[in-house]
Amino acid sequence: QLLMLNLPDAEITDETIVWLNKYHIGGVFMLRRNVKSETEAREFIKGLREKVISRQNLPLFIAADQEGGPIWVFPFLQELTGQKDIKDAKEAYEVAKRRGEELKQLGVNVVFAPVVDITRNQSEFMYSRTFNGNAKAVSSFGSAMVKGYKDAGIIPVIKHFPGHGGTVIDSHKDLPTIFAKKQQWFDNILPFRTAIRAGAEMIMTAHIRVKNIDKKNPATLSKKIVTDFLRKSLNFD
């Protein structure tokens, strides 16, 4: 279950199934290239669930980046509300619950959401994908979505730790670097701290460098940020 990967197209060949089973791959995440139509997407997921069997008889993680708003994999699902359009914690819970139920019915059991990065202006890379509001509001909305997804039987993945706030560079293409002052660091971390307390079981790290904490490594590869801070200080196991 430590490895989650993507498949190259919308077809599942016998060769692919043999490979996934041989190397005991624990999860597959869906991208748009895996989805030609609703019918084919359902068959794709059904095939994975039926044919990939772990030695421990654990279910395969099948994940999708279905945030709503500008980020989605399955355009045919009904609940596509973007986080920017969510106005309070009650709505955040309800959106996550509806989306989670749709994903569950489709065969997905992990969703790469919610985004709990804090953005402050439109020039920031994550701006269109984040909640409106300050650290307290983002914490409230994010935790509500965690509960909504979990109540729907879906594992939510909060992201992107320790927060993209203040970055304008697309981290898919280059490495953003920030210098997090004490208050900014506290604000950026608060939604993750709150979501962990709300029962978050998976966290996606950010490909950013926080140079006053780790001069060399991006957060994803940083012992100081992931092992020392996330695991030990925030008690995320």
Bridge-based pairing state of the strands 209-210 and 61-64: unpaired
Give pLDDT tens digits along the chain (237 positions).
Answer: 788 999 998 888 999 999 999 998 999 999 999 999 999 999 999 999 999 987 777 889 999 999 999 999 999 999 999 999 999 999 999 999 999 999 999 999 999 999 999 998 998 888 999 999 999 999 999 999 999 999 999 999 999 999 987 778 778 888 888 888 888 889 999 999 999 999 999 999 999 999 989 999 999 999 999 999 999 999 998
Predicted confidence at residue 1, as pLDDT, reads 76
| Ramachandran bin of 179, using left for φ above 0, alpha for ψ from -120 to 50, beta for the remaining angles | beta
Q: Which residues contact 130 (CB under 8 A, 6 or more apart)?
A: 83, 84, 115, 116, 117, 118, 119, 138
- The token duo for 81 is 């509300």
Predicted confidence at residue 100, as pLDDT, reads 98
pTM: 0.93
Predicted confidence at residue 155, as pLDDT, reads 98
Please give the full DSSP string across 103-162, using - where no structure is assigned.
HHHHT--EE---B-----STTSTTGGGS-SS-HHHHHHHHHHHHHHHHHTT-EEEEEEET
Predicted confidence at residue 59, as pLDDT, reads 85
Bridge-based pairing state of the strands 61-64 and 110-111: parallel
